[in-house]
Structure 1
């Protein structure tokens, strides 16, 4: 398609609300996934560190 102005591009031939709404929803879902992934990683690393500390407690050198 050829757009002659930014307004025509944003309107997407009358489907701009659906197109840009989908882009926004996808971006929000990806951002949320990154936040949740970061939290899960932090929790897993914390659990692994705790497990290592508790496991080494019973050992004597």
Structure 2
């Protein structure tokens, strides 16, 4: 497709809001799929470290 200007490209023949919203939602979901496991892993490691410290103190 050819567009005469940047604003035409952004408007996408009147479908711009739908197209760019779809891109935005996709990017947010992809970022969440990357960040969520990292945060969960850190929380699990922290919880296990606390549990190990408690066990060592109780012995």
Judge same fold: TM > 0.5, yes or no. yes
Structure 1 consecutive aligned stretches of length 4 or more whose deviation exceeds 4 Å = 50-58
Show structure 2 runs of 5+ residues with no match.
Answer: none
Q: TM-score, normalised by structure 2?
A: 0.66
Q: Which has the higher helix share?
A: 2
Q: What's the Cα RMSD here?
A: 2.1
Show structure 1 runs of 5+ residues with no match.
Answer: none
Q: TM-score, normalised by structure 1?
A: 0.65
Q: Does 2:31 correspond to 1:18?
A: no
Aligned residue-pair number: 57
